[in-house]
Amino acid sequence: MTTTLITGGTVVSATGRAAADVLIDGERIAAVLEPGSHLLGTDLAASVDTVIDAAGKYVIPGGIDAHTHMQLPFGGTSASDTFETGTRAAAWGGTTTIIDFAVQTYGQKVLDGLAKWHELAAGNCAIDYGFHQIIGGIDDDSLAVMPRLIDEGITSFKLFMAYPGVFYSDDAQILRAMQVSRDTGLLTMMHAENGPAIDVLAAQLVEQGKTDPFYHGVARAWQMEEEATHRAIMLANLTGAPLYIVHVSAKQAVEQLAWARDKGQNVFGETCPQYLYLSLEEQLGARSDEWGAFEGAKWVCSTPLRSREEGHQDHMWQALRTNDLQMVSTDHCPFCMKDQKELGLGDFRKIPNGIGSVEHRMDLMYQGVATGKITLERWVELTSTTPARMFGLYGRKGVIQPGADGDVVIYDPNGHTSIGVDKTHHMNMDHSAWEGYEIDGHVDTVLSRGKVIVDGGQYLGTKGDGRYVKRGLSQYLV
């Protein structure tokens, strides 16, 4: 077993920061010590296998991205990152755990869908991974099998109020699933958009010749998100199910969450970097020689980008400060423009939905620290500690403390990161949704269960380093 001492850095947690050394023994953190400590009279730095100098840098728990879609089948194609490429890109960006969504679609058995996801991931991941379970259309079979997911280490499932004919569940199905959620403690995760109404609006736009990517966001109006969020909250209220709304982008949806939380309901929400930084106006203005107005397809995702004029982005940052939103995940679902997004040339409804960000979440959120939007501690809380608590990993992940996995990132606040396909880009995509973004910080070193997997601009890990992590119930259940 190797021993590693990280010296001279500032250890940051969700609740504070302190100068401290971190001792890792094998795969686990053994001690967090006063800087320069001796242990039983021994000079630690002289007795460990490796010393990492973190002077002037932050030492934080590895990022946990609780919403990714490696290889997700969507719109006649599949997300372009495999578990191998996507988790390696995540590691480059300081994320040491992902929770991906195993998929069950109509007509398929839940446990068969799960087995397929294990097959795709096993032996291929650079970092540790867990699963949520997508259930595409609740039926008697899925209801019966849901409690068994807990034994598999899957303690949350996602339903869709959107995508009729693909993943959609109607209110009756949702109600029945939420009753199981209440009885078992499985956390209900909801894609909250009114899919049937959106499909009517989208068809009408296409009939009017409005086929460019921008109209994706017009069809998926904020009213569609607010309404579905409210409906999900009320169904959860009725059943007593714990509820987590994924990829929140409309300020009105946040208001619904805040309203329910203020009444004491156990509901939570995540947003994603794209809803903090990017807007519908920029998507409308995007043009390139290669793609013309279809350039906007790079940012087609659901929920969609929202209007900056209407203030959604500012509201998301505010909600992260006030805890009306509790987490930031990426909803990483990358598609190349060539052969994938271009399936929607001439009809925005056929553009595969999704943006790739798994590599950039820690940096993009750190930029919120650099620009004074969130504190350093809140950065750690939003990107690591709360995801660990929310999804039953805390203690092992999401914190630097004795006994926790040695998932540690050394982040340089004086470093710099330029995002772009020709600069720092390890995701399997032919473009970056974040091209040209500049970050006032840099992921220097990444350790996954005690092993240095990124350091000095080099990837030092191996395919298969990452292990499947069984999760416990959410630590926010009441």
Positions touching Zn ion (CB under 5 A) are: 191, 331
Shortest distance in whole angstroms from residue 234 CB to ligand URP = 21
User: Coil, helix or strand for 362?
Assistant: helix
Residue nearest to Zn ion (CB): 191
Beta bridge mates, 189: 158, 244
Q: Are 55 and 9 in contact (CB under 8 A)?
A: yes
Which of 69/176 has CB closer to ligand URP?
A: 69
Which of 176/191 has CB closer to ligand URP?
A: 191
Residue 176 φ/ψ, nearest 5 degrees: -65, -40
Token pair for 386: 């709360």
Residue 134 contact among ligand URP, Zn ion, none, beta carbon within 5 to 8 Å by kind: none
Question: What strands, in cross-sheet order, belong to the sheet with 267-271?
Answer: 63-68, 95-104, 128-135, 156-160, 187-191, 243-245, 267-271, 327-328
In the block, tokens 């049937």 appear at 196
Residue 353 in contact with ligand URP, rule: CB under 6 A: yes
Residue 249 in contact with ligand URP, rule: CB under 6 A: no
Distance (Å, whole) CA 354 – CA 272: 12
DSSP-derived letter for residue 150 is H
Which of 79/254 has CB closer to ligand URP?
A: 79
Which of 185/356 has CB closer to ligand URP?
A: 356
Distance (Å, whole) CA 152 – CA 141: 17
Query: Quick one: CA torsion of 411, 417, 420, 422, rounded to 10 degrees?
Result: -100
Q: Are 447 and 407 in contact (CB under 8 A)?
A: yes
Token pair for 385: 């500690």
Residue 25 in contact with ligand URP, rule: CB under 6 A: no
Which of 275/394 has CB closer to ligand URP?
A: 275
Residue 270 in contact with ligand URP, rule: CB under 6 A: no
Shortest distance in whole angstroms from residue 355 CB to ligand URP = 7
Shortest distance in whole angstroms from residue 247 CB to ligand URP = 6
The total of other beta-carbon atoms located within 10 Å of residue 462's CB is 11
Which of 376/429 has CB closer to ligand URP?
A: 429
Shortest distance in whole angstroms from residue 9 CB to ligand URP = 35
Which of 353/474 has CB closer to ligand URP?
A: 353
Residue 331 in contact with ligand URP, rule: CB under 6 A: yes
Residue 306 contact among ligand URP, Zn ion, none, beta carbon within 5 to 8 Å by kind: none
Q: Are 275 and 316 in contact (CB under 8 A)?
A: yes
Residue 202 in contact with ligand URP, rule: CB under 6 A: no
Residue 301 contact among ligand URP, Zn ion, none, beta carbon within 5 to 8 Å by kind: ligand URP
Residue 191 in contact with ligand URP, rule: CB under 6 A: yes
Shortest distance in whole angstroms from residue 349 CB to ligand URP = 13
Residue 353 contact among Zn ion, ligand URP, none, beta carbon within 5 to 8 Å by kind: ligand URP
DSSP-derived letter for residue 385 is I
Residue 354 contact among Zn ion, ligand URP, none, beta carbon within 5 to 8 Å by kind: ligand URP
> Segment 62-101, which members bind ligand URP (CB under 6 A)?
69
Residue 274 in contact with ligand URP, rule: CB under 6 A: no
Burial class (CB in 10 A: 0-12, 13-18, 19+), 201: middle
Residue 354 in contact with ligand URP, rule: CB under 6 A: yes
Shortest distance in whole angstroms from residue 420 CB to ligand URP = 22
Q: Which are the contacts of 364, defined by CB distance < 8 A and separation ≥ 6? A: 273, 276, 277, 357, 434, 437, 439
- Reading phi first (left if > 0) and then psi (alpha if -120 to 50, else beta), residue 56 is in left
Which of 59/305 has CB closer to ligand URP?
A: 305
Helix (H) / strand (E) containing 239: helix 222-239
Residue 351 in contact with ligand URP, rule: CB under 6 A: no
Burial class (CB in 10 A: 0-12, 13-18, 19+), 114: buried
Residue 216 in contact with ligand URP, rule: CB under 6 A: no
Residue 104 in contact with ligand URP, rule: CB under 6 A: no
Residue 239 contact among Zn ion, ligand URP, none, beta carbon within 5 to 8 Å by kind: none
Distance (Å, whole) CA 252 – CA 226: 6
Distance (Å, whole) CA 30 – CA 10: 17
Shortest distance in whole angstroms from residue 423 CB to Zn ion = 26
> Binding string, 286-325, against ligand URP, x = CB under 6 A?
---------------xx-----------------------
Token pair for 69: 């879609």
Contact pick of 325, 333, 351, 393 for ligand URP (by CB under 6 A):
333
Q: Are 355 and 425 in contact (CB under 8 A)?
A: no
Chain residues in the site for ligand URP (CB under 6 A) = 69, 191, 247, 301-302, 331, 333, 353-354
